[in-house]
Structure 1
Amino acid sequence: MGYRIINGVLYPVGDFSELHKKSDTKNLAKDSKSFKEILQSEKIKSQGFTLSNHCAQRLKERNIEINSEFLSKVNEGINRASEKGSRESLILYKDIALIASIKNRTIITAMNRQEEDINVITNIDSVVLL
């Protein structure tokens, strides 16, 4: 599955257009969602996450390439941490370390593991190894 980032928010390809539709206040009664639509909406939430502006800048500065495998694994890591009740997590994938707010499904920052100036990470309650 592919992903697309729009205004710092990550969406699965093909699903992003429906997330930005504005509802007409006159047709609120007509726009009531069925159980199936609500379930699908919740599934989409669990399939995506947001990259903070800070994280996007760090990924670019550190030449960390984002591909579909990377996005899929990070999403899997966020889902695992969420299932365990984590709030702030360090996600380790290959040579990349990510700090994530699990509750907000947001990647706060990214770094290479080889960076010498990074040796202490605070304010996390879990580590996810991918």
Structure 2
Amino acid sequence: MNNPMLALHLTPGRTGPIQGQRPADRNREVRSEGVSFKELLDQQQQLKFSHHAEQRLQQRGIRLQPEQLERIASAVDQAAAKGAKDSLVLFQDIAMIVSVPNRTVVTAMDGPSMKEHIFTQIDSAVVVS
């Protein structure tokens, strides 16, 4: 090996990070301030509403109870399991467009607003019973 740079890179016994940084301690427990893993998991499974969706719900007088939100969230879970990305979720007389990976309701409308409305840029539809 005549090239000194090449010889340095092939030297046996050299291990560890190249830039001299210590690898992260993989056994270290990661916790947020006072938040348990279950609480973090529950937060991830909740539905979020975009600002636009919140405005539409208010304008149209749509109020969702906690048990209704749980049923809708369950439907979003089912859509995610099937690989859905943007889904139309129909619940009673409410239609919602949901970004499934983000678990975010993008917009919502009531029955009268749905008449003669065409839903585009969705890849799935879920009917919540």
Bin the TM-score by the shorter chain: 0.5 to 0.7
The residue aligned with 1:76 is: 74
Aligned-partner residue type, residue 93 of structure 2: D
Greater share of residues in strand: 1
Structure 1: 5+ residue stretches without partners: 1-28
Deviation at 1:72, TM superposition (A): 0.9
- Which amino acid in structure 1 is aligned with residue 29 of structure 2? S
- Alignment coverage as a number of residue pairs: 98
| Alpha-carbon displacement from aligned partner over 1:49-86 (angstroms, at most 9, x marks no partner) | 21000000000000001211221111111111111100
Alignment RMSD: 2.3
Whole-angstrom distance in 1 between the partners of 2:69 and 2:52: 17
1:1-130 equivalences in 2 (<5 Å): 32-33=29-30, 38=37, 41-46=40-45, 48-115=46-113, 118-130=116-128
Aligned counterparts of 1:61 and 1:101: Cα–Cα separation in 2: 21
Give unmatched runs, 5+ long, in structure 2.
1-24
Which structure: larger Rg?
Answer: 2
- The alignment partner of 1:114 has SS state of helix
Q: Counterpart of 1:92 in 2: which secondary structure?
A: strand
Q: 3-state SS of the aligned residue for 1:65?
A: coil
| TM-score (norm: length of structure 2) | 0.67
Deviation at 1:123, TM superposition (A): 0.2
